[in-house]
Every structure is written in structure tokens, then in C-alpha cells.
Structure 1
Amino acid sequence: MKILVVGAGATGGYFGAVLARAGRDVTFLVRPHRATVLRERGLRVTGLEEEWHVEPRLVTADVLAEPYDLVLLSVKSTALEQAIEDVAPAVGPDTAIMPLLNGLAHIDALNARFGTAPVLGGVAKVVTTLNDEGDIVRLAPLAQLTIGEQDGSLSPRLEKIRAVLDEAGIDVLVPGDVMASMWHKWVFITTLGAVTGLMRGTVGEVNAVPGGAELGPAVLAEAAAVSAAAGHPVPERELTATLDMVTATGSPMVPSLYRDLTAGRPTEVEHLFGDLVARARALSVATPLLDLATLHLRVHQRRVMSPAS
């Protein structure tokens, strides 16, 4: 199976590196600057008392010309539009596209560009980041992929992809309804992002002040209500797990959105929050805290995208 990993960042880079380390036929589609770094250093994975690297096979968009069997798409939503155009030459009649973005707007965009047939649903659960050298740093042991056909069918290609991932040592799940899994991850990530982003602090810092421990449950209730109204109620065990995480005392937990926010970088505000609150309006679900988080992030986005204004 020929695999193209679009982007070599903290998420796609990690899973792509695991596949390459296991001897799979993996190529990374990267920007010229990232290609230079990877050719000099290799694709390195550190953290959790491990350090290893692979010498990745690289391609840039200007020379991409042949179809692949599997396209693993893992980019920031702000780069999605360009990534879709860049990857188009790699999408043939038998190509499967496995996106690993949070939210759902990217599914709509991919379906519009390539049709629904090649596009799988996907959820990545991994706690990684890039350091200043461009290496992937693992911050927690969790590393899991959830994949599935949009219509819930258990297709032969899905079984083949699952086998390739499993044989490489990747923990992979194939639920009956991957779209529900994507909604549930969306609830989790927006809850965590709203709590830490609004308060500009870690989960532990928020919960350490009077009233702080009430914020997480209130935001979670809003996000879960949107998912339920969309036909995908979050299972009680997942609600409990998220609630425990956002109310944990002393927790250093923050999402990548928080790291982008505090570093003065653009965030995925529209993809994660703008789309969610728009769907909430369409479903007649009130989300005052998520609306506030969206507004807060939009002001930040305008500031960093238009610094002279």
C-alpha cells in the first residue's frame, strides 16, 4: 500500500513516522522549508523516555504527479484549502483519503472536491507537539486512530487499511459510526479549548480559583447539547471522562489551540468554534459560553492576521 502523509507536523508526522519505521511505503508531502529540515535532521520522535528517527521519503507539491492508495491528511484547518489543491494529483479512482482534523468542516470540503466515495472519517487521539528544531515531542502515551466509512459500512478497503495500521503497531479502532466519533472528539476539544483559551490558563490553573471548577462542566454541557441535537449524543462514559479531565486539580493540560493562542499564532477558530456555534444556531441550541470563546478567539485571530490594523 502506497501511503502519502500530507504534512509532517505533530499529528500526521507522528503516525507517518510510525508507519515508516515499520517499513511501510510512506511518502510525506511537505513544504520546501520543512523538506529542508527533514533532510538535514530526519523525522525525529522524542519524549516519554524514547528517541528515534526515520529518514523520510519526501515530495513537494510541484512534483507530485501519481496516485497513492491512502492519503493521510493532517494539516491545520487554516492550510486545508491549499492542501486539498496540492494533494489532488495524488487522488486516483482507488485512493482512500483519511483526514485527521478535528471538527467536521473538512469533511464537507473534501466531499465537495473529491466526492464522498474516497473520503473516510477519522479521529486522532495523540498528545504531541513540535519543538523548535521541528522534532515531534510526545507528551503522553495516548496514540490512537479511529477510522471508518462515512456511511458506517465495513468495506474491504477499510479492513485493509486497518490491517496496515495495526501491523505497524498503531492502536486503531473501527466503530460502527465514525461520524459520531468525530462529533464526540469535537465536543471534547472545544470544551478543553474554551476553558483554557477563555481563562488563558492550564486546566489546573482554572480550577484553582474560586468559580473555576464550574466553567468546564458548563461548557461541556453546551457542546454536548449541540452534538445530541445533531443526532450524536455523547455516551455517558465519554462525558464523564471529559468532565474529569477539565475539572482535574493541578492538571497541566492544554490543547494545541491554547499553545497557538498564547504564542500569538493564528488558531483554528472558525473550523473548531465558528462552525460549531453556527450548527448550534441552526439546531436552536443556546451556547453562550461557546459564543464567548468564539468571539474571544476571533479578536485574537484578527489581531495576529492584521497586526498593522
Structure 2
Amino acid sequence: MRVLVLGAGALGGYFGGRLAEAGGDVTFLVRPGRAAALARDGLVIESPFGDAKLAVKTIQAAELRRGWDIILLSNKAYDLDDAIAAIRPGVDDRTVILPVLNGLSHIDILAREFGAERVLGGLCKIQATLTPAGVVKQLNDWRWLTFGERDGTMSPRVQALEAAFSKAVGVEAKAVPNIDQRMWEKLVHLGTSAVGTVLMRANVGEIVRAGGSPMLLTLLERNAAIAAHHGHPMPDAFMAEYRALFGDAASAYATSMLRDVEAGNRIEGEHILGFLAEAAHRAGIDTAIHDMAALQARSYEQRRAANRLP
């Protein structure tokens, strides 16, 4: 199984690197600067499950040809158009695309561009970052990669991908028959934490200690109602898990969106906060908090574009 990973950042670098470490046939499609750094330093992973320094295969856009079984997309949602252009020369009839982007709207876009039969549903649950030194740093023990066919079949290709990851250290990869449900579950918890942490500019524990747990729990219930309106009610066990998280005063959980805001980077505001605000409007659910979060994200992007961030 030949796997092409778009980029070698926090997510692609971690999951692609762990698969390569386990003997998988993995190549990273990267820009010239990252290619040079990987050739010089290797792909460096720092993780609670063991550090690694790997010699990895890379390719640049002008060299890309067809012949890939899996293309893993782990880019930011706002880079989707560029990602589609980058991988298009490598897609043929044997190729299946596995996106683990945040949000949901990218699935329909990829299906329109490449055909629904070539697009899996996918998500990951991990906290990782790419340091200024180019190190892929895993921040806690979250390590889950979940994927599946949109029609619910356990096809040979998703079973083969699960088997390939079975030897990887620090990864729990699983093919599932209900990937759409799983993606909605991620959006519910990510949407809750992203709205809360971006509005408050604080991690979950800090918000809870400031008296904000009721706000987070209200968000959780409203996001669950949005998902239910779209045919994906949240399981009781899921709700219990995240009620506990959003009431935990000791939690250090913060979203990548908050880290991007604090670093002055672009954010996935429209793809998560804007999407949820619009979905809440369509579902007839109180949108006040969602609208405020989406406005906050848009205002942040305006300040960033005007070069007025601290």
C-alpha cells in the first residue's frame, strides 16, 4: 500500500511518521524548504509514546505522478483549495483520499472534485504541534485516527489501512462502519471547545475555574441538538464524557484554534464556528453564543489582515 501524505506538519507528520516507522510505504508531499529540512534532520517526533528520528521519503509538487493507494490530507480547512490542486496530479482510479480536516464541508467538496467513491470519511483526535525547529510534538496521550467508507461498508481498502497502522507505535487507528456519526461527534465536542476557548481566550480548566462551566455545557447541548437535527444524535456515553470534560477545573485542554489565535495565525473560524452558527440557524436553535463566536473569529481575521495583532 503506497501512502502519500500531504505535508509533514503536526498531524501529517505524526500519523505519516508513525506509519513509516512501522514499515509502511509512506511519502510526504512537501514544499522545498520542508524537504530540505527533512533531508538534513529527518522527521523528528517527540511523544509520550516514544521519540523518533526518521529518514523519510519526500516528493515535491513538480515531481508528483499517479500510483498512490491512499492520500492522507491533514491540512487546515482553509487550505483545502490548495490541497486539491496539489494532489490532483497524483489521483487515479486506484486512489482513495482520506481527509482528517476539521469540520464537515470539505467532504462534499472533495467528492465533487474527485468522485464520491474516492473519498473516505475520516477524523483524528490528537493534540500535536509543529515547533519552530520543525519537530512534531505530541502534547498528550490522544492518538486516535478513525476512518471509513461513507456508505458504511467495511471495504478491503479500509481494512488494509487499519492493518497497516496496527504495527504503529502511539497510534490507535480504526476503520468503522459509521464514520459520518463519528465526524458529527467530533464536530460537537470540537465546536464546543473552539467556541468556548476562542471567546474566552483560555483553556477549558481556566474557563471552568472562572465560572464558565455552565456556558460550556449549554454549548455542548446546543451542538448536540444541531447534530440531532441533521440525523446524528449524540450517544449518552458521549454526552457524559464531555459533560465531565467541560466541568473539569483541572483540564488543560485547549484547541488548535486557540493556539493559532495566540500565535497570530490564520484560523478555521468559518469552517467550524461559522458552520455551526449557520447550522444552528437552520435547526431553529438559539444561536446567540455561536453568532458571537463566529463574529469574534471574523473580527480577529480582520485585525490580522490589517496587521493590528499584538
TM-score normalised by the shorter chain: which range applies? over 0.9
2:182 matched residue in structure 1: 181
TM superposition shift of 1:49: 7.2
* RMSD across aligned positions (CA): 1.6
TM-score (normalised: structure 1): 0.95
User: 165-174 vs 250-259, which deviates more?
Assistant: 165-174
User: 11-20 vs 247-256, which deviates more?
Assistant: 247-256
TM superposition shift of 1:30: 1.1
Report if aligned partners of 2:99, 2:122 keep a CA contact under 8 Å in 1: yes
Counterparts of 1:273-284 in structure 2, within 5 Å, are 273-284=273-284
Structure 1: which amino acid aligns with 2:209?
A
1:128 matched residue in structure 2: 128
Structure 2: which amino acid aligns with 1:155?
S
| 1:36-94 Cα shifts (integer Å, max 9, x gaps) | 22222111111427321111111111221223011111101121110111101111101
Instruction: Work out the CA distance in 1 between the residues paired with 2:95 and 2:276.
Output: 29
2:192 matched residue in structure 1: 191
Structure 2: which amino acid aligns with 1:182?
M
Structure 2: which amino acid aligns with 1:103?
G
Counterparts of 1:210-221 in structure 2, within 5 Å, are 211-221=211-221
Counterparts of 1:2-151 in structure 2, within 5 Å, are 2-48=2-48, 50-151=50-151
Instruction: Work out the CA distance in 2 between the residues paired with 1:171 and 1:308.
Output: 41
Instruction: Work out the CA distance in 2 between the residues paired with 1:193 and 1:142.
Output: 17
Q: Which runs of 4+ in 1 moved over 6 A?
A: none
TM superposition shift of 1:308: 7.2
Report if aligned partners of 1:280, 1:287 keep a CA contact under 8 Å in 2: yes
1:154 matched residue in structure 2: 154
Instruction: Work out the CA distance in 2 between the residues paired with 1:68 and 1:43.
Output: 21
- Alignment partner of 1:152: what SS? coil
1:236 matched residue in structure 2: 236
Structure 1: which amino acid aligns with 2:220?
L
Instruction: Work out the CA distance in 2 between the residues paired with 1:52 and 1:63.
Output: 27
2:245 matched residue in structure 1: 245
- Alignment partner of 2:4: what SS? strand
TM superposition shift of 1:224: 0.9
State the identity %: 37
Instruction: Work out the CA distance in 2 between the residues paired with 1:223 and 1:26.
Output: 37
> Structure 1 stretches of 5 or more lacking a match?
none
Instruction: Work out the CA distance in 2 between the residues paired with 1:82 and 1:49.
Output: 33
- Alignment partner of 1:117: what SS? helix
- Alignment partner of 1:147: what SS? strand
User: 152-161 vs 281-290, which deviates more?
Assistant: 281-290
1:260 matched residue in structure 2: 260
- Alignment partner of 2:51: what SS? strand
Number of aligned positions between the proteins? 308
Question: Residue 52 and residue 167 in structure 1: after superposition, are their counterparts in 2 closer, same or farther (change >3 A)?
Answer: closer
Report if aligned partners of 2:67, 2:91 keep a CA contact under 8 Å in 1: yes
Instruction: Work out the CA distance in 2 between the residues paired with 1:256 and 1:119.
Output: 25
TM superposition shift of 1:130: 1.4
User: 30-39 vs 181-190, which deviates more?
Assistant: 30-39
2:202 matched residue in structure 1: 201
Report if aligned partners of 2:76, 2:102 keep a CA contact under 8 Å in 1: no
Report if aligned partners of 1:98, 1:121 keep a CA contact under 8 Å in 2: yes
